[in-house]
């Protein structure tokens, strides 16, 4: 279940252009801190929920920051938080150690901000995603004709390419209602090594608009 039946790949915007969606950047949001390390959570992306292509109903926030705890044990479980637009309230977080060499040595506190454009998923790409998610044919045989899917891309809406299928059902920890998938973020972020230096890792972000609650987890092939 996603907000929009139409899928859009999140791709770097043309040089010099400014968009309302971004990937990465420095996290300065109060409350968006790992309880395990005391360090700011990694800012993965910021989405403009007012963009009609996302089809997110009006709620308590207009710009939603997506965070992930890659550098501590928080990434080993499901992670949730409430956004107010000005700060973050952590709702669930896996306790454990802070890492010094994971995902890879000299991991940065944040990655440079990249402006994002929303590029519609073509009919051929959506058909290929459907087949890949259901194991209808070999991965390399299918992606040979749709090279953008050779590495799981970042996507909002539609049916995203999933490293583990079917999509887990998540319920809002506040209202208990089912949560639609808002974004599926791949490893590549414009940096040399990406988020975890593994093309076949992705982050799933579910969103409850009425409660402004995000639930996230990662999947690995």
pLDDT bin (cut points 50, 70, 90) of residue 172 is: very high
pLDDT bin (cut points 50, 70, 90) of residue 35 is: very high
What's the pLDDT tens digit per position in 115-163? 999 999 999 999 999 999 998 878 888 888 898 999 999 999 999 999 9
pLDDT at 61: 93
Tokens of 195: 């988020």
Counting the structural domains of the chain, the total is 1
Residue 116 counted as domain residue: yes
Q: Which domain holds residue 170?
A: 8-220
pLDDT bin (cut points 50, 70, 90) of residue 213 is: very high
What's the Cα-to-Cα distance from 128 to each of 9, 150, 217, rounded to whole Å? 14, 11, 24
Distance, in Å, from the CA atom of 155 to the CA atom of 158, rounded to the nearest integer, reads 8
Which is nearest to 186 in space by CA: 168, 215, 208, 160?
Answer: 160
Residue 1 counted as domain residue: no
Residue 60 counted as domain residue: yes
Q: What is the mean pLDDT of the chain?
A: 94
Residue 146 counted as domain residue: yes
pLDDT bin (cut points 50, 70, 90) of residue 110 is: very high
Tokens of 44: 């993965």
pLDDT at 18: 78
Q: What percentage of the chain reaches a pLDDT higher than 90?
A: 84
pLDDT at 16: 79
Residue 120 counted as domain residue: yes
Residue 2 counted as domain residue: no
3-class DSSP string for the chain:
CECCCCCEEEEECCCCCCCCEEECCCCCCCCCECCCCCCECEEEEEEECCCCCCCCCCCCCCEEEEEECCCEHHHHCCEEEEECCCCEEEEECCCCCECCCCCCCCCCCCCCCEEEEEEECCHHHHHHHHHHHCCCCCHHHHHCCCHHHCCCCCEECCCCCCCCCCCCCCECCCCCCECCEEEEECCCCCCCCCCCCCCCEEEEEEEECCCCEEEEEEEEC
Start-to-end CA span in the chain (Å): 21
Cis peptide before 55 (omega within 30 of 0): no
């Amino acid at each position: 279940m996603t907000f929009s039946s139409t899928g859009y790949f999140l791709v770097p915007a043309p040089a010099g252009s400014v968009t309302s969606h971004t990937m990465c950047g420095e996290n300065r949001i109060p409350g968006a801190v790992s309880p395990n390390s005391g360090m700011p959570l990694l800012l993965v992306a910021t989405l403009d929920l007012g963009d009609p292509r996302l089809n997110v109903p009006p709620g308590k926030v207009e710009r939603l920051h997506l965070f992930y705890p890659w550098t501590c044990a928080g990434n080993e479980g499901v992670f949730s938080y409430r956004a107010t637009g000005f700060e973050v309230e952590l709702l669930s977080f896996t306790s454990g150690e802070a890492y010094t060499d994971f995902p890879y040595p000299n991991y940065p506190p944040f990655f440079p901000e990249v402006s994002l454009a929303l590029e519609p998923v073509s009919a051929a790409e959506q058909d290929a995603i459907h087949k890949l998610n259901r194991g209808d044919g070999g991965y390399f045989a299918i992606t040979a004709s749709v090279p953008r899917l050779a590495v799981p891309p970042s996507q909002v809406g539609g049916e995203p390419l999933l490293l583990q299928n079917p999509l887990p059902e998540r319920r809002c920890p506040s209202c208990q209602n089912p949560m639609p998938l808002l974004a599926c973020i791949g490893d590549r972020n414009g940096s040399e090594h990406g988020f975890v230096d593994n093309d076949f890792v992705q982050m799933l972000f579910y969103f409850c608009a009425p409660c402004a609650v995000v639930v996230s987890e990662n999947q690995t092939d």
